[in-house]
Amino acid sequence: MTGVAELTSSQQVHEAIAGSPHVLVEMWGTHCAPCRSLRPILERMAGEHDDWSFNAINVEAIDGIADEFGVRGTPTILLYQDGVEKTRTNGFVMPNDLIERMSEAAAR
């Protein structure tokens, strides 16, 4: 998959998590400046890491989605392997740190 898929429902998030061995989900908010800074980085990374599915969901657009996934702030990046959450990152993350976390999640 190239680019970041914008998911619009809890069902789509669950399908994305189940649909690929390595899944990144960015939980973001409309008024979140770090989220706006992070998106171009994720778009670039998606093109460079085709073994990962990159997804995003606006927590403001879907009632209860943040609570469902235990998200307390944005951005939050959730990394899944084979449908199981391996790690999460709260706040802006540098690309090299995110790549390292992706590698660690994939190795677990």
Per-residue pLDDT tens for 33-77? 999 999 999 999 999 999 999 999 999 999 999 999 999 999 999
pTM greater than 0.85 (yes/no): yes
Cβ proximity of 90 and 76 under 8 Å: yes
What CATH number matches the domain at 5-107, 3.40.50.11540, 3.30.470.20, 3.40.30.10, 3.30.70.1350? Answer: 3.40.30.10
Structural domain spans, the chain: 5-107
Q: What is the mean pLDDT of residues 79-95?
A: 96
Q: Give the SS3 label for residue 31.
A: coil
Cβ proximity of 25 and 78 under 8 Å: yes
